[in-house]
Structure 1
Amino acid sequence: MALQDKIDQDIKLAMLAKDNARLRGLRAIKAAILLAKTEKGPAETLTQDTETRVLQKLAKQRKESAEIYQQQSRDDLYQIEMEELAVIESYLPKQRSREEIERAVKQIIAESGASSPKDMGKVMGLANQQLAGEADGKTIAEIAKALLAGN
């Protein structure tokens, strides 16, 4: 089942259950998918990779907004962002733990022959390809930077 079909079905269920928090998150996902589709062209269908990137972008936006609201002591808005984030993350692939990301980056560094921070671009390219959808790019970059500086 395509993601858009699953979202449509889940929107109906959330409406019947009167689950407003879930409904907000699902509508945000649907809007982002429709926007991505129109950018590609009316006849185009989104690949699973594109759908994952759209969901990651939404999750990142919610995290950043929640962080700002928390700093400003706006707990009401913070709560809304966190509810939507939980819904969005439920449709993303399972995220790897920091230890799993570290092991994968170490393996990539060994396989690519990277030895210094100058090789960061090569490592990041391979890591982003291998860990696509399973890890945040910021976390991958932090780990890669630390490992390359330590070698």
Structure 2
Amino acid sequence: MQHSNTQDTLVGLFVAAGIAGLFFLALQVSNLSSFVEQDTYSVTASFENSGGLKVKSPVSAAGVKIGQVRSISFDPKTYQSVVEMAIYSKYKTLPTDTTASVFTAGLLGEQYVNLEPGGSDEYLQNGGKIEITQSAIILEKAIGQFLFKSAEEKAKK
């Protein structure tokens, strides 16, 4: 069977399309898919423990992604984790009494920040701080407490 230039070109295009598809899939999985920077404003929240939260983790409200984590740092004065979030500007009506919690997507999934809006008439501005927070639940710590309590109950019997 003879190879023609047309066949070689079509095979080359097919391989190139496959590589482009794999590249696109890798970007989607790694949360790097947004090449265009959206207009955002910055909000911070302090947590006792931010768990496995990472930069670029999603920030959501009511199950909708409204931003992403921009940075995570340690405050040496309060000994807390300070999480800076970039919230998309189209969601600029978050009340000042909004609460922030670190949740896990599924049992062993990635962690994200969930925001629950409050009832205030004033809104968070650029550089605003969320005062009411709930830290990540550390699975190992919860299991340890459960085992300790069950051992304590057996010792009482």
Could you say which structure has the higher helix fraction? Answer: 1
**Under a length normalisation based on structure 2, what TM-score does the superposition of the two structures give?**
0.22
**Under a length normalisation based on structure 1, what TM-score does the superposition of the two structures give?**
0.22
Could you say which structure has the higher strand fraction? Answer: 2
Between structure 1 and structure 2, the one with the greater Rg is 2
